Amino acid sequence: MKIVFFGTPEFAVPTLEKLLNHPKYEVLAVVTQPDKRRGRGNKLTPSPVKTLAITHNLAVWQPEKIKKDTDTLTKLQNLAADVFVVVAYGQILSQKILNMPKFGCINVHGSILPQYRGAAPIQWCIHKGEKETGITTMLMDAGMDTGDMLLKANTPIKLLDNAQILGDQLAVIGADLLLETLSKLENQEIKPIPQDNSQATYASLIQKEDYNLDWSKPAVEIHNQVRGFYPHCVTTFRQQQLKVTATVPLDPAYTQELPKEIQDKINKIPDLSTVSTQPGEVINITKGIGAIVQTGSGLLWLREVQPIGKRLQSGWDFVNGTRLTVGEVMGN
């Protein structure tokens, strides 16, 4: 089976690796987003997919707008591929492109469709507090993740999973599911299933304001925001920006879901149930653990933070480094 691979971020790399290492599949070319400037040096940096493709001496095409790039469209048409595999490519494919391969275009999507269609399904799934997610392979159509579904694979979401952890897990699951999908599609062992549009939800592009923490919200909601939009959530502390990258909600309803080493640390924190303060206020500092912050409902342990211009550090290191005291307030 001859394949053209469309993908850009790290999430797409395991699928491309599986295809390259499989004797039944031949990757003819890779289509990925143009190199972007990143880092302090603002240097042009290739996508993870391009980096892998180059090591395998594959043809790499990087059109700015694939729907209007006649050169790329001609190359794709001339390849006469059996299937286009699309994993987090980052551009919408035209109907002309969708019609090119024999078996159509197969997308590996990071949710259980029709839930969380769109650009950021993993992040929003965590943000909404879902307990389970997964991968769906589908035949692409001209809509936004609206094509007929092929196969699904589910996985639980743990309380401390963030977008990076879950994304890494789903990337591997997606790679395996794609191979199964291709095999069954070729052998006519799959019957595509239309999506129920009435059950659809959407995972829109993340905006900068989505990273701002509001301490008047419940502790669990803030926790889900921090891990869903990892590692970008921010608050203010002493009039400067503070990234909050890991938290733990101190609610007995969630404690049993935590690893034993985290539970052991929580057991060292004194009973704070009678303390009532304003949202964002540090109400306790426990040795070896760090700061406990009041929210609109419940308490939140700041497990890992990053002050502006400094490295990531544990909550306890942050307390020591800033000489944080009880009564100080996070947020505006």
Q: Is 111 annotated as a binding residue?
A: yes
Kindly give the interhelix angle for 163-186 and 13-20, rounded to the nearest 10 degrees: 40
Residue 156 annotated as part of some ligand binding site:
no
- Say if residue 292 carries a ligand binding annotation: no
Collapse the DSSP code of 105 into the 3-class scheme (helix H, G, I; strand E, B; otherwise coil) and give the result. Answer: strand
112 is in an annotated binding site: yes
Find out whether 102 and 1 touch, Cβ atoms under 8 Å. no
Please report, in angstroms and rounded to a whole number, the separation of the first and last CA atoms in the chain.
57
Rounded (to 5) percent helix, strand, coil in the chain: 30, 30, 40
Q: Which is nearest to 137 in space by CA: 91, 89, 178?
A: 178
- The DSSP line for 185-216 is HHTT----B---GGG--EEPPPPGGGGB--TT
Give the contacts of 45 (CB within 8 A, at least 6 positions apart): 35, 36, 37, 38, 39
| Contact in structure between 33 and 89 (CB atoms under 8 Å) | yes
Helix (H) or strand (E) holding 292: strand 290-294
User: How many whole angstroms separate alpha carbon 117 and alpha carbon 145?
Assistant: 6
Phi, psi at 187, each rounded to 5°: -90, 10
Question: Alpha-carbon distance 125 to 246, whole Å?
Answer: 17
- Nearest one of 177, 174, 131 to 156, comparing CA atoms: 131
What residue has token string 């306890």?
Answer: 316
Distance, CA of 146 to CA of 140 (rounded, Å): 7
**Annotated binding-site residue numbers for (6S)-5,6,7,8-tetrahydrofolate:** 111-114
**Annotated binding-site residue numbers:** 111-114
